[in-house]
Structure 1
Amino acid sequence: MSTTLEPSAPASTASETFDSLDPATGDLVGTHPVMGRDEVDAAVARARDAVDWWGNLTFDERADHLLTWRSVITRRIAQLADLVHRETGKPHGDAQLEIVLAIDHIAWAAKNAKKVLGARKVSSGLLMANQAATVAYHPLGVIGVIGPWNYPVFTPMGSIAYALAAGNSVVFKPSEFTPGVGQWLADSFREVVHGRDVLQVVTGLGDTGNALCRARIDKLAFTGSGRTGKKVMAACAENLTPVVIEAGGKDSLIVDEDADLPKAAEAALWGGMANAGQTCIGTERVYVHEKVFDAFLAEILAQADGLRAGSDSGAKIGPITMPSQLAVIRSHLEDAVAKGARVVLGGPEAVGERFVQPTILTHVPEDSTEITEETFGPTLAINPVKNMDEAVRLTNATQYGLAGAVFSKSNGVSIAHRVRSGMTSVNSVIAFAAVPGLPFGGVGQSGFGRIHGPDGLREFTYAKAVTRQKFAPVMNLTSFARDSATDGKVAQLVTLLHGGKQTLR
């Protein structure tokens, strides 16, 4: 297949444009059109036409196209990773990692859609024994996706790939910070489907996303802040369009007294600092059993030695992609210090004009914004706890409920089940995101709905129930010819089936 990408859609008629900039240098990466309501509606109309073809393919035919797309992305992974690096500032290795995970999810969705969504038999029960019953999951139609900038391939792909595998077409509005990545994905898929408008991109700012919410789509999947998520829901409500919302998190990592401390420290450091802390499922809080608190702190500080943010090849951490977040990070650190937190690495002065150096605070007051609000920077708040009951209580004392991690040799799983979140890893960090068969999503202010896994496939479908009469019923209950004798027999039957006292075992 040619490496030259075809245009993703008819050229925009918009006269207004916006620039995509390298956050590490401020250099221009690309210029893109600001698409308005008319252009968004036109894209949705094209998607509606395209789904007549895509949605009527067999599961196997769609899988062939999706697996071809997977192969195209895999062969061009260096090209895409470089674009992700330039638009987000993250190191090339981190860019490649998120693409690798996205590739695996495309493959899983393609290979499992038929098994998850295809028609299956359902027991009809004794009353309806003359009926054959089946349920299948049909595509909704056109899915709108509004993606984030922090993981511009992996995160939206959790909606895009699963929606496509289910038989929908997709109109994707990437973040204004990473429009080139979104365009690249749509262009590469367009090659696979020979120019059809199955996956399209609409670029622009907030008004473009608003237009997509109000367009005649059948569902919208959004990833971003809770504040914007509420606006998305309000806009979608005008047309009663259902939504999937993946908002932020304030995830914790719990360290029990029997934990492998070097591994726990390694996970906490990476979970908090990777991608400059700009990870919705990253670690922001750490609760450590007081018996091992000092040892854990010494271990994580030793591992953090030499870790720094920068744009050179020796830096493991990139810039803050969204400039406005710098003030948020600084304010959280200043609030924590003002309320008595101890700075053991970095601090408020670690916040620069583009980069934030790794920062670790301890004994952070639970009412400080460093604990209560999403910081989205390379910071960790590490606090001692008396026991795991306190660790769970403090972990759950948040409006969020997205993810988290637990390190314990003997009680990890039991502790994990007590954490109020959609996902928890035991003795690892964010491992659940790399398991395609697991659902991904949160509770509370972290949102609702699920992507990934069987739940993610069904999220973009509706259940279709069908019954077929196999033979005439012994008693015809759906007829005005039904008499009192039949009613009596029905009463006797239901009493026999359900009237007895049930003994629970």
Structure 2
Amino acid sequence: MSLAELASTDPCTGEVIWTGPTGGVADAVATARAAAPAWARTSLDQRIAIVRAFKAAVDASADAFARLIAQETGKPLWETRTEVASVAAKVEISITAQAERAGEKGSEAAGVRQSLRHKPHGVLAVLGPYNFPAHLPNGHIVPALLAGNTLVFKPSEQTPAVADFMGRLWAQAGLPNGVLTIVHGGGDVGRDLAGADIDGLLFTGSAHVGAALARQFADTPQRILALEMGGNNPLVAWGLDDIDAAAALVVQSAYLSAGQRCTNARRLIVRDGDDRLVEAVLALADRLIVGAPFDEPQPFMGPVISNAAADGLARGWAGLVAAGGRVLRPLLRARADRPFLSPAVIDMTGCAPSDDELFGPVLQIIRVPDWDAAITCANATRFGLAAGLIGGDAALFDDFWARARAGIVNWNRPTNGASSAAPFGGVGASGNHRPSAYYAADYCAFPVASLASDTLAGAIPAGLSPLPPAGGAGGGANEDRP
């Protein structure tokens, strides 16, 4: 493999499953720029027909698509099948959102028509993550295409095969050449794309990279930048009646996708002295099956994305222990050469760990004396993506909703449950106030307000001097001039 190539490996086996060239940003952007005028002039009905054809192509290849995602990410097949279903479902949701959020609106009074329509930005870049390599970039691609933009998509260097599969499905759907171009590579290619001749960038990924993009875009405020980043998400358990059901919600919140969802619960906040839930969570975590995507019975979770990710999580875990954490279930690695990790639990009550997002199967327990302390603890993070309450009543949830600083606030549901028919995003270090999902239509086009009349009519309302009388003093041929 030359330096100009990228290889993708199966995290479960280390087998190389894809290779391809990297870079090519300048050519990809030039191609998208050349295709932009014609695509922008394509009618909305024609664009809708193409994205619906894409949905049909996804449905027709759903099994192969799910198997590829499972192979490249290590996620269980049952989970990747739900991801493919979400890719298909995004089409009709985005069509509805386009009409509601960016559809044409207008009125008429006294012969003057007022209208609101939207125009595409032009060329947009999409930077995708590895945890949902199809669903999350697709959540930007579909609304951006509906809005009339052309795109350059750089997937995570961990999941290029999934991106290329998606590209082929778009070609099958009849998307014109140049409207969607895929480039591959690592952070250097991402930086090149962010600095290229683009009109905006749509990003899903870590807060570290998002902050770097914000700095890179600081001198170009005319370019749109939408950032959806991670979270150090709290889950508060209070006034529980059903401990077993609560434990199931905690485990789903903490360990789905091996903890590699930006909405995973990282901190479980409980009342001091009540150990029933913690004991139930530990017992349930001990029963979770960790395995490869195609194992039978199906595992609850697979490996994390790579050995490098597993190594980073081990360092983060060591930091929690060094900060004074009491290990309740250790972070174990079944094989030294592969990134299978066990679900880990650590009690951080009274400790002061760093406010970092540990993107893996690590749950911190924090015990507090009262409700106000629980709210204070929940908000003790620079992030603000997701927060959840399990237990209590409607009045307690109303108080939690009002005081929790997050863009997703759930009650008696996992923190990683979110509707595609709602906006998705957070505050603080979790985003830049451009939530995606249903609100992606808001930043994929810009509004144009118009006043129009069929007849030309104009008058100066005030401030004109009177016209001189006909034949009066107005200057003659012999008048002296200064």
TM-score, normalising length from structure 1?
A: 0.84
Deviation at 1:209, TM superposition (A): 1.0
* Structure-to-structure mapping, 1:91-490, within 5 angstroms: 91-121=76-106, 131-193=112-174, 195-237=176-218, 239-240=220-221, 241-258=223-240, 260-290=242-272, 293-311=274-292, 312-314=295-297, 315-347=299-331, 352-353=336-337, 354-369=339-354, 372-410=355-393, 411-430=396-415, 433=418, 435-469=419-453, 476-477=460-461, 480-481=463-464
Residue type of the alignment partner of 1:212: L
Deviation at 1:90, TM superposition (A): 1.0
Q: d(CA) in 2 for partners of 1:179 and 1:203?
A: 7
Change (3 A) 1:348 1:333: farther
Assess if the C-alpha contact under 8 Å between 1:401 and 1:444 holds in 2. yes
Q: Which residue of 29, 33, 47 maps to 2:32? A: 47
Change (3 A) 1:194 1:359: closer
Cα deviations by residue, 1:218-266 (Å, 9 ceiling, x for unpaired): 1101122222222223333455433111222111111121464333221
Residue type of the alignment partner of 1:303: L
Deviation at 1:29, TM superposition (A): 0.8
Q: d(CA) in 2 for partners of 1:186 and 1:481?
A: 63
Alignment correspondent of 1:56: 41
Cα deviations by residue, 1:28-59 (Å, 9 ceiling, x for unpaired): 11101011xxx212212222232323322222
Q: Which residue of 19, 31, 49 maps to 2:19? A: 31
- Give the RMSD, CA atoms, in angstroms: 2.6
Structure 1 unmatched ranges of 5 or more = 1-13, 484-505
Structure 2 unmatched ranges of 5 or more = 467-482
Q: d(CA) in 1 for partners of 2:335 and 2:457?
A: 75
Deviation at 1:194, TM superposition (A): 5.2
Aligned-pair identity in percent equals 29
Change (3 A) 1:449 1:74: farther
Assess if the C-alpha contact under 8 Å between 1:137 and 1:458 holds in 2. no
- How many equivalent residue pairs? 458
Assess if the C-alpha contact under 8 Å between 1:449 and 1:459 holds in 2. no
Alignment correspondent of 2:475: none
Change (3 A) 1:51 1:474: closer
Q: d(CA) in 2 for partners of 1:137 and 1:265?
A: 47
Whose helix proportion is higher, 1 or 2?
A: 1
Change (3 A) 1:263 1:164: farther
Q: Which has the larger radius of gyration?
A: 2
Cα deviations by residue, 1:354-397 (Å, 9 ceiling, x for unpaired): 2111111224444113xx21111111112222233222211111
Deviation at 1:349, TM superposition (A): 6.8
Assess if the C-alpha contact under 8 Å between 1:287 and 1:385 holds in 2. yes
Assess if the C-alpha contact under 8 Å between 1:413 and 1:426 holds in 2. no
Q: d(CA) in 2 for partners of 1:202 and 1:287?
A: 42
Moved more, 140-149 or 47-56: 47-56
TM-score, normalising length from structure 2?
A: 0.87
Assess if the C-alpha contact under 8 Å between 1:320 and 1:377 holds in 2. yes
Deviation at 1:400, TM superposition (A): 0.8
Q: d(CA) in 1 for partners of 2:414 and 2:189?
A: 35
